[in-house]
Chains A and B, each alone.
Chain A
Amino acid sequence: NAGVTQTPKFQVLKTGQSMTLQCAQDMNHNSMYWYRQDPGMGLRLIYYSASEGTTDKGEVPNGYNVSRLNKREFSLRLESAAPSQTSVYFCASREGQGNVFKHFGDGTRLSIL
């Protein structure tokens, strides 16, 4: 089925460990996004990639890095995880500027101890 696939679905890390969250879409979309969702808060944009080869910071980029590996894949890396990064991370994609957001992954639930 076409859509946005995130891996892993769950992860527990210790403070200071690193990890990469993977996101892939098979709809040939240009734009991809990483959001985080914390209890009682809406989703907040971490980074986005308007097109292959470009990335830009969102509202809460500190402590994260991203890579737009190709048109399909957009990864999010935590170099040195901190408890404040405990959250649910969502990847999304869309065709281009101004279009409706229709495609979100099911999320990665990340706990940092």
Chain B
Amino acid sequence: KQEVTQIPAALSVPEGENLVLNCSFTDSAIYNLQWFRQDPGKGLTSLLLIQSSQREQTSGRLNASLDKSSGRSTLYIAASQPGDSATYLCAVPTSTDSWGKLQFGAGTQVVVTP
């Protein structure tokens, strides 16, 4: 069974520092990997999707890398801002099908202090 781990569970950084968030998965046979942001009391917002054939995906200050062989993805957020404070989750489809049976990590709660 696919297992997804995110370490650390929480992270606090001063404004302006770069954020590095980690996501590990046990089964490298993934179709893609998706990063989400969750604000308190809200649903999930999709940030980036990396296909299994890609090594990297960028959107603005966000950059996500994928290394299937080592079972790892990293989300980089450059020059963090207080507005980046949220919980960040990664998710991969289960290895058996792609009908949306996403396996989520527990998330990393990020606080960016002014």
Residues of A whose CB lies within 8 Å of any CB of B are 4, 31, 33, 40-45, 48, 50, 56, 58-59, 90, 92, 94, 97-98, 100-102, 104-107
- How many whole Å from A31's CB to the nearest CB in chain B? 6
- Chain B residues lying within 8 Å of A4, measured Cβ to Cβ, are 43
- Among B44, B46, B101, chain A packs the most CB atoms within 10 A around the CB of B44
Q: Is the CB of B43 within 8 A of A106?
A: yes
- Judging by beta carbons under 8 Å apart, are A104 and B44 in contact? yes
Instruction: Classify chain B: how many residues form its interface, as a range.
Output: 20 to 34
Check A40–B9 contact: CB distance below 8 A: yes
Give, as a whole number of angstroms, the nearest-CB distance from B13 to chain A.
Answer: 21
A23 CB to nearest B CB, Å: 11
B65 within 8 A of A: no
List A contacts of B106 (CB < 8 A). 40-42
Cα-based distance from A97 to B93 in the complex (angstroms) = 11
Contact A101 B101 (CB under 8 A): no
Q: Which residues of A contact B100 (CB under 8 A)?
A: 31, 33, 45, 48, 50, 92, 94, 97, 101
14 contacts between A and B (CB under 8 A): A40-B106, A41-B106, A42-B103, A42-B104, A43-B44, A43-B91, A45-B101, A48-B100, A48-B101, A50-B99, A56-B99, A92-B43, A101-B34, A104-B45
Of all chain B residues, the one with the shortest Cβ separation from A58 is: B101
For B4, what are the chain A residues with a Cβ–Cβ distance below 8 Å?
A: 42
- Taking the closest CB of chain A, its distance from the CB of B82, in whole angstroms, is 22
- CB contacts (< 8 Å) of A92 on chain B: these are 43-44, 100
Identify which of B91, B102, B107 gathers the most chain A CB atoms within 10 Å of its CB.
Answer: B102
Expressed in whole angstroms, the Cα–Cα distance for A94 and B44 within the complex equals 13
In the assembled complex, the Cα of A40 lies from the Cα of B8 at a distance in Å of 12
A28 → B minimal CB distance (Å): 17
A residues within 8 A CB of B114?
none
Interface of chain B residues 76 through 113 with chain A (CB within 8 A): 89, 91, 98-107
Q: Bits for B41-58, please: 1 = Cβ < 8 Å to A, else 0.
A: 111111001000000000
